[in-house]
Chains A and B, each alone.
Chain A
Amino acid sequence: MSEEEAQRYGGSAGGGGGGGIGALSVDLLGQVLDRVPEPRDRKACRLVSRAFARAEAAHRRALRVLRREPLPRLLRAFPALDRLDLSACASLDDASLAAALAGADLGTVRQVCLARASGVGWRGLDALVAACPRLEAVDLSHCVGAGDREAAALAAAAGLRELNLEKCLGVTDMGLAKVAVGCPRLQKLSFKWCREISDIGVDLLAKKCRELRSLDISYLKVSNESLRSISTLEKLEDLAMVCCPCIDDEGLKLLSTGSNSLQSVDVSRCNHVTSEGLASLIDGHNSLQKISAADSLHEIGQCFLSKLATLKATLTVLRLDGFEVSSSLLSAIGESCNNLVEIGLSKCNGVTDEGISSLVVRCSYLRTIDLTCCNLLTNNALESIADNCKMLECLRLESSTSVSEKGLERIATCCPNLKEIDLTDCGVNDAALQHLAKCSELLILKLGLCSSISDKGLRFIGSNCGKIVELDLYRCSSITDDGLAALADGCKKIKLLNLCYCNKITDSGLSHLGSLEELTNLELRCLVRITGIGISSVAIGCKNLIELDLKRCYSVDDSGLWALARYALNLRQLTISYCPVTGLGLCHLLSSLRCLQDMKMVHLSWVSIEGFEMALRAACGRLKKLKMLSGLKSILSPELLQLLQACGCRIRWVNKPLVYKDAI
């Protein structure tokens, strides 16, 4: 509907002039735009009608900026912004951010995303907090350079409710204390991976931020004392503590003494947690909805099972990856948890057909079933799933080598809502794809390592699964250009496509891919037949390309880089290791692509030292991540390396011999 509407309005505005659109008030047009979900469609409206452009300017709530140059203009142009996403804004730094904020009115901005914006430091955050008085949510995740000063800058935003500090490696207890004191109304906080934070920081947080509902302390070295503090949070609903090696059953017992508010708990990879600890936790929190205990428990005790039964009404998600699971256990889970919507049994030993059938017989609401690497399963399991779980949306069967088209046929016919299926390494064939093609809702399809899949199978998919967003054809080496043609013809929505090692693909196949305008991630590793011509057709056609992997594409030379430099303006990650490109091409590429942040260029034997120097200098302010041969470390000028590091670029030096792999 959205597209039609847009076209209609756009058409009338473009053709009719005065009468139609212009007569409607800006408010109404804004309402219309709100109902256009696709950004592309909104863009179309904007471009064809001034009235829409005005309405958009007045009503636009969310803005995602890709380059820093237009940032000041954009911030002024949209005065009603609610969400500002700067995570992809290339080469954003303190100065440019502060300058852009200085002239803008950001009184309405409530959410700002600065994930991976490693160029932004405390000065920029200070300016941001000062400019956005109503700031409620900030995402600073993966700004690995961020530390206490950045946290302190954010702490000045007293109204903050959500804060993500994931992988801000420099944040210590001091930074956390700043935030805890400065933002007492915090409801959601993640400081996953901030390994410097200890018990006393968590304790202060629990004392100061009484409104916390969601907390992520994963990968921290905190002990049970932290859980004692956390247990005092009366409104806490969601607690994630993945891989906290110092937490054990005692901690969970302490946690269970808190208020009965917890709805979701994640103790994955906490090696010292046993099922008794979880049982005591369930004792204290009997409205739990989600339990994640992947790779933590050594065995599932009877006490835990009996406690699970007390959660019968509420429990919807149970993840028990990596256990020894027997059929009787699965049937017991099925009996006690009828309302399960998601079950994760990936890498569980002992999952058999009987076990699965006894589970699904009771749990008919299951939508997501993760059976990754449960390689005892056969078609019987699939049939019982298909017969019982009519609402199935996601099924992961990686490495289940015994399943075949028969089982998948049953799934495809009985589960019309299937949106995601992972058949990596399941050895399925074209016939299976023929059946799966009945699932017209399919969004994610993973067929990696299924080398018997051919163009025929892709034609089935292309003809019926028009909604597919992600397709993984890793090492499906029988696929040729024709298959890609059929795919590109039918699945226009594909965003992520993996064609690594499908080495029959040539330039003509890539020219078909050029019609996939939504494509953002494309992996073409080791496609030895493709050349610069194919790359240029992709670069020209796929305007939204963000990530491109050309490792070991031995025929891609400078012409490919030129095409990328000219057309792939949104490209953010590029891998050109082992490609026969020269310094000139590299230089041109790096100086032209203003969004490029992540470059992997190992074994570019045709590039001279000067070529590297020039290219890196050209892209100095923008690069965030580099992967290069360690031999270059001593050859490149130290001043350049310092400069790169000063701009927030992390260089990963690798040392591996140059080996050309021609065939698979």
Chain B
Amino acid sequence: MRRSSEISMKASSSMASEASRNTDPGQQGVRYNSMDLSYFARPGQSIPSCPPFFAPQSSSFCVPDESGAKVGNPFESDPSLNTPISDWDPQAILSNLTFLEQKIKQVKDIVQSMSNLGSPVVGGSCELAAKQQLVTADLTSIIIQLISTAGSMLPSMKSPLLSSNPAVRQLNTYGSPMGFGSVGNQRPSTNREVTVPDMTKTSDYEELMSTITTTHDEKDDLIKCPNPCGGDGSEPIPMEDHDVKESDDGGEGENLPPGSYVVLQLEKEEILAPHTHFCVICGKGFKRDANLRMHMRGHGDEYKTPAALAKPTRDSGLDHTPVTRYSCPFVGCKRNKEHRKFQPLKTILCVKNHYKRSHCDKSYTCSRCNTKKFSVIADLKTHEKHCGRDKWLCSCGTTFSRKDKLFGHVALFQGHTPALHMDDIKATGASEQPQGSEAVMDDMVGSAGYNFPGSTSDGIHNLDMKVAEDTRGYFSPLNFDPCFGALDDFTRPGFDISEDPFSFLPSGPGSCSFGQPSGES
């Protein structure tokens, strides 16, 4: 089973498979393998190691170093390295050391080949850079492996040593700035290794769910690597990422100098793909990774372990990765990178919302008013919450859900005045009618009527500012987002869009078949 997955991996990176093969002798077991598999399946889906997915679309994307992450994987994903805390196994250590030896030899080979190449070749510089990164990644993993091996020899000290040792932290972060363009790769493989010891104290099911259900966590997911399974069940405490927290509408107010960030541009199909997470066994698609993990439980006990259910940890080295911003694929849009005053979008979520709102049909119609249409279903839901309750009416016909908005509008436009509610007037008018039944009264009502929309010249005069037009402003992302950000309701439809950033990946056969072998075994 493991082999088969590795074979498929080979297509993308022989280095990775080689490395994983190297680990095999040391630690085996079904559990390890299955988890490992899930690791591989995920990055395989999303990481642009397969050029057809990514390379042509996003030119600024640095593909080559997929392997770096892969190399790391065998170490970190190997729970047996760390789990036997109490029984100190010389055999295991020995195998670790053997592996390290081999690893060092590999690195040596690569460096050797680099020096040999000397590189008058045309594509050489690129290859050289890739190799350099490989070397760095390998060295990092070697160091990590060393430390963890040393740590396993000191069971009692292990946890504090690893988590508090600044050197280790530095190592953690070290892996990240290696220029992986992909968000997914920004997650250094070393990280999980370091946090492993904490696994014991967290990640039972409730805790997992509770952390998942907060908005914050959900948003964290967005910028997380596409490899969210974090099988080792490391601590689910999310890393604070203020960049993401600030606003959902990405980069409205931020003034990043051009070039200080990496620009990603996703294709339309990717943006509009409904599902982002796919079961490697049955191929079912999910919008949220958490749901997929819940689903996976049905496929066997190996998916029920706390480690398998745990929320993947965040990347601690994120701060050092290049800032990534997104471009809208719609040419001519201000959010498109070709635009002269290009304003990048901050997150994948922003891309999705922006694209749907600005460049898609508004296919969701409010069932209450039958006039307002939305392209983002969350917008519709939000609107429906307030629809019919827009009781603040201006003489120009514009309605507002809040009095202060109406008053701001009235203050802004000369001649506009708040209109009193029609039904109020009608109701009381009707009740008063019998009393003032004289002709004079009727005359009065006719001539000096009220300023409600359409009934007076004033109202008609200003009708050029139509309801529909104003609602656009009113429901513009700017106004909408603050309330959106305040959500913490897991079931809220707003989360339909707050999925894993790599939801754009087409649910093509490639990614599915990727996981198939494991399912067969």
Report if B121 contacts A (CB, 8 A): no
Asked whether A178 lies within 8 Å of B444 as measured between CB atoms, the reply is no
Report if B441 contacts A (CB, 8 A): yes
Which of chain B's residues have a CB closer than 8 A to the CB of A240?
none
Q: Mark B414-427, 1 if CB is under 8 A from A, else 0.
A: 01111010001100
Q: CA separation between A54 and B179, bound complex, in Å?
A: 102
Which of chain A's residues have a CB closer than 8 A to the CB of B441?
94-95, 98, 123
Q: Which of B215-223, B352-360, B430-438 contacts A (4 or more CB under 8 A)?
A: B430-438
Which of chain A's residues have a CB closer than 8 A to the CB of B297?
none
Enumerate B257-286 residues with CB–CB distance to A below 8 Å: none
Quick one: given A98-B440, A127-B444, A130-B448, are A204 and B410 in contact (CB under 8 Å)?
yes
Report if B190 contacts A (CB, 8 A): no
Q: CA separation between A492 and B113, bound complex, in Å?
A: 126
Asked whether A181 lies within 8 Å of B416 as measured between CB atoms, the reply is yes
Asked whether B444 lies within 8 Å of A98 as measured between CB atoms, the reply is yes
Chain A min CB distance to B76 (Å): 56
Which of chain B's residues have a CB closer than 8 A to the CB of A646?
435
Quick one: given A178-B417, A181-B417, are A204 and B411 in contact (CB under 8 Å)?
yes
Which of chain B's residues have a CB closer than 8 A to the CB of A200?
403-404, 407
Asked whether B407 lies within 8 Å of A181 as measured between CB atoms, the reply is no
Asked whether B407 lies within 8 Å of A173 as measured between CB atoms, the reply is yes
Quick one: given A102-B440, A152-B420, are A121 and B432 in contact (CB under 8 Å)?
yes
Q: CA separation between A174 and B417, bound complex, in Å?
A: 9
Q: CA separation between A355 and B416, bound complex, in Å?
A: 57
Report if A155 contacts B (CB, 8 A): yes
Report if B115 contacts A (CB, 8 A): no
Asked whether B417 lies within 8 Å of A123 as measured between CB atoms, the reply is no
Report if A276 contacts B (CB, 8 A): no
Chain B min CB distance to A173 (Å): 6
Which of chain B's residues have a CB closer than 8 A to the CB of A181?
410, 415-418
Q: Mark A133-157, 1 if CB is under 8 A from B, else 0.
A: 0000000000000001100110110
Q: Mark A616-655, 1 if CB is under 8 A from B, else 0.
A: 0000000000000000000000000000001000000000
Chain B min CB distance to A220 (Å): 16
Which of chain B's residues have a CB closer than 8 A to the CB of A560?
none
Q: Mark A83-112, 1 if CB is under 8 A from B, else 0.
A: 000000000011100110010000000000
Report if A203 contacts B (CB, 8 A): yes
Closest to B415 in A: A181
Q: CA separation between A372 and B441, bound complex, in Å?
A: 52
Enumerate A114-131 residues with CB–CB distance to B below 8 Å: 121, 123, 126-127, 129-130
A–B Cβ pairs within 8 angstroms, 14 of them: A94-B432, A95-B437, A95-B440, A127-B448, A129-B448, A130-B448, A149-B450, A152-B451, A156-B448, A173-B407, A181-B418, A200-B403, A204-B410, A208-B411
Report if A484 contacts B (CB, 8 A): no
Chain B min CB distance to A174 (Å): 5
Report if B150 contacts A (CB, 8 A): no
Which of chain A's residues have a CB closer than 8 A to the CB of B435?
93-95, 646
Closest to A203 in B: B407
Chain B min CB distance to A415 (Å): 53
Report if B491 contacts A (CB, 8 A): no
**Extra 4 A-B pairs, beta carbons < 8 Å, given A126-B444, A152-B450, A156-B448:** A95-B441, A149-B428, A149-B450, A173-B403
B contact residues, range: 20 to 34
Q: CA separation between A94 and B450, bound complex, in Å?
A: 16
Asked whether A123 lies within 8 Å of B432 as measured between CB atoms, the reply is yes
Of A129, A152, A646, most buried by chain B (CB within 10 Å of CB) is A152
Asked whether B404 lies within 8 Å of A94 as measured between CB atoms, the reply is no
Task: Give the number of chain A interface residues (Cβ < 8 Å).
Answer: 31
Q: CA separation between A93 and B411, bound complex, in Å?
A: 34
Asked whether A174 lies within 8 Å of B418 as measured between CB atoms, the reply is yes
Which of chain B's residues have a CB closer than 8 A to the CB of A258?
none
Chain B min CB distance to A163 (Å): 16
User: Which residue of the partner chain, among B416, B418, B432, B436, contacts A98 with CB atoms under 8 Å?
Assistant: B436
Asked whether B411 lies within 8 Å of A207 as measured between CB atoms, the reply is yes
Which of chain A's residues have a CB closer than 8 A to the CB of B404?
200
Closest to A130 in B: B448
Report if A201 contacts B (CB, 8 A): yes
Chain B min CB distance to A386 (Å): 56
Report if A514 contacts B (CB, 8 A): no
Report if A534 contacts B (CB, 8 A): no
Asked whether B407 lies within 8 Å of A201 as measured between CB atoms, the reply is yes
Report if A177 contacts B (CB, 8 A): yes
Closest to B416 in A: A181
Asked whether A177 lies within 8 Å of B407 as measured between CB atoms, the reply is yes
Report if A182 contacts B (CB, 8 A): yes
Quick one: given A177-B410, A200-B407, are A149 and B425 in contact (CB under 8 Å)?
yes
Which of chain A's residues have a CB closer than 8 A to the CB of B425?
149
Asked whether A99 lies within 8 Å of B411 as measured between CB atoms, the reply is no
Asked whether B444 lies within 8 Å of A177 as measured between CB atoms, the reply is no
Shortest Cβ-Cβ A-B pairs, 8 listed: A181-B417, A126-B448, A95-B436, A98-B440, A177-B418, A200-B407, A207-B411, A200-B404
Q: CA separation between A2 and B436, bound complex, in Å?
A: 45
Enumerate A492-546 residues with CB–CB distance to B below 8 Å: none
Chain A min CB distance to B239 (Å): 39
Q: CA separation between A537 and B444, bound complex, in Å?
A: 47
Q: CA separation between A401 and B402, bound complex, in Å?
A: 58
Report if B445 contacts A (CB, 8 A): yes
Asked whether A178 lies within 8 Å of B436 as measured between CB atoms, the reply is no
Q: Mark A177-189, 1 if CB is under 8 A from B, else 0.
A: 1100110000000
Asked whether B448 lies within 8 Å of A178 as measured between CB atoms, the reply is no
Report if B447 contacts A (CB, 8 A): yes
Q: CA separation between A646 and B404, bound complex, in Å?
A: 33
Q: CA separation between A173 and B428, bound complex, in Å?
A: 20
Asked whether A123 lies within 8 Å of B436 as measured between CB atoms, the reply is yes
Chain B min CB distance to A287 (Å): 30
Which of chain B's residues have a CB closer than 8 A to the CB of A204?
407, 410-411
Q: CA separation between A66 and B425, bound complex, in Å?
A: 31
Enumerate B379-428 residues with CB–CB distance to A below 8 Å: 403-404, 407, 410-411, 415-418, 420, 424-425, 428
Which of chain A's residues have a CB closer than 8 A to the CB of B428?
149
Q: CA separation between A126 and B450, bound complex, in Å?
A: 10
Q: CA separation between A201 and B418, bound complex, in Å?
A: 11
Enumerate A166-216 residues with CB–CB distance to B below 8 Å: 173-174, 177-178, 181-182, 200-201, 203-204, 207-208
Which of chain A's residues have a CB closer than 8 A to the CB of B432?
94, 121, 123
Q: CA separation between A200 and B408, bound complex, in Å?
A: 9
Which of chain A's residues have a CB closer than 8 A to the CB of B411?
203-204, 207-208
Asked whether B440 lies within 8 Å of A99 as measured between CB atoms, the reply is yes
Quick one: given A94-B436, A207-B411, are A155 and B417 in contact (CB under 8 Å)?
yes
Which of chain B's residues have a CB closer than 8 A to the CB of A208?
411
Q: CA separation between A149 and B436, bound complex, in Å?
A: 17
Q: CA separation between A148 and B448, bound complex, in Å?
A: 16
Which of chain A's residues have a CB closer than 8 A to the CB of B436?
93-95, 98, 123
Which of chain A's residues have a CB closer than 8 A to the CB of B424?
149
Q: CA separation between A99 and B436, bound complex, in Å?
A: 10
Asked whether A99 lies within 8 Å of B438 as measured between CB atoms, the reply is yes
Of A121, A156, A182, A204, most buried by chain B (CB within 10 Å of CB) is A204
Asked whether B445 lies within 8 Å of A123 as measured between CB atoms, the reply is yes
Quick one: given A99-B440, A173-B407, are A149 and B420 in contact (CB under 8 Å)?
yes
Q: CA separation between A292 and B435, bound complex, in Å?
A: 46
Asked whether B407 lies within 8 Å of A178 as measured between CB atoms, the reply is no
Asked whether B444 lies within 8 Å of A123 as measured between CB atoms, the reply is yes
Which of chain B's residues have a CB closer than 8 A to the CB of A177?
407, 410, 417-418
Chain A min CB distance to B404 (Å): 5
Of B407, B425, B450, most buried by chain A (CB within 10 Å of CB) is B407
Closest to A173 in B: B403
Q: CA separation between A200 and B440, bound complex, in Å?
A: 37
Q: CA separation between A560 and B439, bound complex, in Å?
A: 42
Asked whether A130 lies within 8 Å of B447 as measured between CB atoms, the reply is yes
Chain B min CB distance to A82 (Å): 23
Which of chain A's residues have a CB closer than 8 A to the CB of B437?
95
Chain A min CB distance to B392 (Å): 8
Asked whether A148 lies within 8 Å of B407 as measured between CB atoms, the reply is no
